[in-house]
Amino acid sequence: MQTAEVVIAGAGIVGSSIAYHLTEQGVTDVILLERETHQGKGSTGKSMGGVRAQFSTDVNIRMSLYSIPFYSTFEERLGHPAGYRPQGYMFCATEDRHMDYLRANCARQVAAGLEAVRLIDTQEIQERVPQLRVDDVIGGSFCPTDGFVDPYSVMTGYTLKALERGVKIWREAEVTGIRVEGGSVKGVETSKGPISTRKVVNACGAWSAAVARMAGFDLPVEPLRRMLVPSEPFDKVSHASPMTIDMSTGFHFRPEGRGMLMAWNDMNETPGFKLNFERSFVEKILMHAVSRVPVMEEMEVNPSRAWAGLYEMTPDHHPVLGPAPGLDGFYFANGFSGHGVMHSPATGKILADLILQGKTDLIDWGLLDFNRFSERRLIEETAVL
């Protein structure tokens, strides 16, 4: 029977980061399990690729304060490009309550150590994206170290470095069971055969609840569809523009390739494994786009190039990280609620620390443990796009 010190179920950006960070601490007897023929076919390859530290809770801010500098030095660390572009995130407020919210968040972010973030006025917003309609914009916030990465390239970089150091990857290997004896993990059953191990990490993204059930846990993670719409080549908005968020509607966009990439959270969306793109979404998102950026009326969109991906949502929009209560050797790295790509460096470090030392100094991980749901100590993240 195959053996491994650690088995990671899920070889997307989170699982591959955990594998890489384990090798950073000298552990290379690791098997990554990927149920598809190749990695990134889940949420990783469908992400918008945004990275930001403009959050509303200390724990998310601190995860970003590790992750963004990591991305800025990714290529020198791993010898592979991350595609990090620090073009910033710009939140545009149209109501006093929006500004109050940004003001409170900005103070929290600065207190946590994010020095670059600041509140900005309407004039600066107009200067950064001259094509924006700003007649109702009263201000906003901007952080120049926020930006974008290439999620697929990041995942590839983690994986290649981990494999170079001795980690193995099993493709087309779906988890079919978790073997437990006497309150401890003893192995993993897969479609490619069993693996004997005492440590298993659930990094299965939107599909993580099913794997958790195999270990006897009811993990409150639900898949929620997000649809993204790229434009055809379009040069009427600068490709140096930041990720721009219209707080009145939630519509946001950023440069991508020779065009623009647009996103919007449809509040009528319901949980489920819906991976199809609905063409009717194009009309909805373009209505918001043209309202905020009138010149986008001239932008062409080919619905066949748009796509849908899955967020893995928890009730408080924070991940579940760390060891499972009452089952020695089972670990969660789930429920990132749209922030898995941007927080993958921090997640890898935190999980490697917890697996190998039983503690981490990066965050107070107890805030994100599995028991917080039953103990009703949720910490709500409201800055979810």
Question: Can you tell me the mean pLDDT for 70-90?
Answer: 97
Given a cut of 90, is residue 164 above it in pLDDT? yes
Round to whole Å and give the CA distance between 120 and 271: 36
- How many other β-carbons are positioned within 10 Å of the β-carbon of residue 333? 29
Q: Where are the domains of the chain?
A: 2-49+151-220+316-372, 85-148+223-313
Looking up tokens 């993670």, which residue turns up? 221
**Looking at this protein, which amino acid is placed at residue 125?**
I
3-state secondary structure of 293: coil
What is the DSSP-derived secondary structure letter of residue 85?
B
Quickly state the pLDDT bin for 356 (edges 50, 70, 90). Answer: very high
Fold (CATH) for 85-148+223-313: D-Amino Acid Oxidase; Chain A, domain 2 (3.30.9)
- Spatial distance between the Cα atoms of 132 and 290, rounded to a whole number of angstroms: 10
Spatial neighbors of 285 by CB under 8 A, at least 6 apart, are: 227, 229, 251, 262, 263, 264
Q: For position 355, what pLDDT does the model report? A: 98
Q: Report, as an integer, the average pLDDT of 245-255.
A: 97
CATH number, span 2-49+151-220+316-372: 3.50.50.60
Query: pLDDT tens for residues 15-57?
Result: 999 999 999 999 999 999 999 988 887 888 889 999 999 999 9
- Percentage, residues of the chain above pLDDT 90: 95
Q: pLDDT tens, 290-319?
A: 999 999 999 999 999 999 999 999 999 999
What span, in angstroms and rounded, lies between the C-alpha atoms of 42 and 204? 9
Instruction: Specify the pLDDT at position 44.
Output: 83
- Of the listed ranges 107-121, 264-278, 281-295, 315-329, the least confidently predicted one is 264-278
Instruction: Kindly indicate the confidence band of residue 210, based on its pLDDT and cuts at 50, 70 and 90.
Output: very high
Whether the pLDDT of residue 136 is over 90: the answer is: yes
CA 303 and chain centroid, separation = 24
- pLDDT per residue as tens digits for the range 150-162: 999 999 999 999 9
H helix runs in the chain, sequence order: 13-24, 58-72, 74-78, 96-112, 122-128, 151-164, 208-214, 280-292, 344-357
Is 90 exceeded by the pLDDT of residue 385?
Answer: no
2-49+151-220+316-372 shares its CATH topology with 85-148+223-313: no
Determine how many CB atoms are found less than 10 A away from the CB of residue 165. 16
Token pair of 72, please?
A: 């800025």
Quickly state the pLDDT bin for 202 (edges 50, 70, 90). Answer: very high
- 214-247 burial by CB neighbour count: b if 16+ within 10 A, else e? bbebebbbbbbbbbbbbbeebeebeeebbbbbbb
Q: Is the pLDDT of residue 383 over 90?
A: no
Q: Mark 4-20 as b/e (b = at least 16 C-beta within 10 Å).
A: bebbbbbbbbbbbbbbb
Asked if 342 and 64 count as a contact pair (C-beta separation under 8 A), the reply is yes
Gyration radius of the chain over CA positions: 21
